[in-house]
């Protein structure tokens, strides 16, 4: 467990999350008593944060403004030892902000994202960071970056390329380069949109996974939320149930799952153990009020992974 791990370069968005959670079921068009929390977020930043907690050296390529939010981001990355010295700092434009509302159980109901600055994580910026990309053992990215940047990574990254589709709308940026992506982590809706296979049950999840592998992916992990994950690669397929958890806030579970996939790859785990480890990381995350569980660690994830359900090979 203590051996030196290789690094990951994360590309993607960073923003300030402002989240509200009511004490009782939401009443539309009314003021709902509850709690409001402000934290640092963004899919890319959350993946980087989780990876750092898993003791993986992280370089983070992103863009943010020159404002109070940016100062908080810089301080957090310094504390976590996330290398952001190549991040793009842009005067005159705000650091992106994500405003979301969850239900009383912590499940996101709706959100508004002001992420215009992410368009500046463009291909020209990434080309300036090619030396960083060349040294990475893994490059992991979200799709908050422009489509031209997705294509740049697909065309120029030699390391295994991991992608989080983020949303159905943004997943389309990946369609033309699935054959150059190593690991994809879609949810059911994203998997359906990318594969063209309507997903209604477990059999259709399998068919969607097969379609994505046929498009050139090396590995795919299709998240079914509380129902677990379907994992597939050449010669191996199976379902891994969700790990036991006491959910408090579901936001951020997918980001820790991706960090778990990165850790597992660097550790050389097989498909089953990779799915179990990533599912355990997600389970720990949903038990925290924070988007990233500050208590996440390799030992904590390994312990929870031991409680994973039975792998069902397909």
- pLDDT tier at 115 (50, 70, 90 boundaries)? confident
- For 6, 104, 247, 278, the CA distances from 255, given in Å and listed in that order, are 19, 22, 16, 10
Pick from 14, 47, 286, 82: nearest CA to 163: 47
Q: What's the rounded Cα separation, in Å, for the pair 292 and 206?
A: 30
Q: Which two tokens stand for residue 81?
A: 């030892």
pLDDT at 88: 96
Q: Which CATH architecture fits 8-14+42-92+117-313? A: 3-Layer(aba) Sandwich (3.40)
pLDDT computed for residue 251 by the predictor: 81
Mean pLDDT lowest among 133-137, 196-200, 287-291: 287-291
Q: pLDDT tens for residues 142-179?
A: 999 999 999 999 999 999 999 999 999 999 999 999 99
Mean pLDDT estimate for the chain: 94
| CB hemisphere CA count around 144 (13 angstroms) | 28
pLDDT at 18: 87
Residue 4 has pLDDT above 60, yes or no: no
Identify the burial level of 81 via C-beta atoms within 10 angstroms of its C-beta, where 0-12 means exposed, 13-18 middle and 19 or more buried: exposed
In eight-state DSSP terms, residue 250 is -
Q: What is the pLDDT of residue 108?
A: 85
Domain edges within the chain: 8-14+42-92+117-313
Which helix or strand (DSSP H or E) is residue 37 part of?
A: strand 34-41
> What does residue 239 show for φ and ψ, rounded to 5 degrees?
-105, 135
Is the pLDDT higher at 252 or at 220? 220
DSSP summary character for residue 187: B
């Amino acid at each position: 467990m203590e051996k030196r791990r290789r690094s990951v370069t994360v590309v993607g968005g960073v923003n300030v999350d402002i989240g509200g959670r009511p004490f009782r079921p939401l009443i539309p068009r009314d003021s709902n008593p509850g709690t409001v929390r402000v934290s640092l977020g963004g899919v890319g930043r959350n993946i980087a944060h989780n990876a750092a907690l898993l003791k993986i050296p992280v370089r983070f390529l992103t863009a943010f403004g020159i404002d109070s939010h940016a100062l908080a981001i810089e301080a957090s990355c310094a504390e976590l030892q996330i290398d952001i010295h190549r991040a793009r700092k842009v005067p005159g434009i705000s650091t992106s902000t994500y405003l979301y509302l969850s239900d009383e159980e912590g499940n996101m109901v709706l959100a508004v994202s002001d992420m215009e600055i992410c368009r500046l994580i463009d291909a020209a910026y990434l080309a300036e960071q090619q030396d960083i990309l060349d040294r990475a053992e893994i490059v992991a990215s979200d799709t908050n970056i422009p489509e031209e940047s997705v294509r740049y990574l697909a065309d120029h990254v030699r390391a295994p390329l991991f992608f989080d589709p983020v949303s159905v709308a943004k997943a389309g940026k990946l369609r033309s380069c699935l054959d150059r992506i190593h690991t994809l982590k879609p949810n059911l809706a994203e998997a359906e949109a990318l594969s063209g296979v309507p997903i209604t049950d477990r059999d259709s999840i399998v068919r969607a996974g097969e379609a994505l592998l046929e498009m050139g992916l090396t590995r795919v992990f299709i998240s079914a939320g509380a129902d677990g994950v379907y994992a597939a690669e050449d010669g191996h397929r199976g379902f891994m149930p969700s790990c036991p958890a006491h959910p408090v806030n579901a936001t951020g579970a997918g980001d820790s799952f991706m960090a778990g996939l990165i850790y597992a790859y660097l550790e050389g785990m097989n498909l089953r153990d990779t799915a179990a480890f990533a599912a355990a990381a997600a389970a720990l995350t949903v038990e925290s009020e924070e988007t990233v569980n500050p208590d996440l660690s390799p030992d904590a994830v390994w312990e929870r992974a031991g409680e994973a359900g039975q792998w069902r090979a397909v």
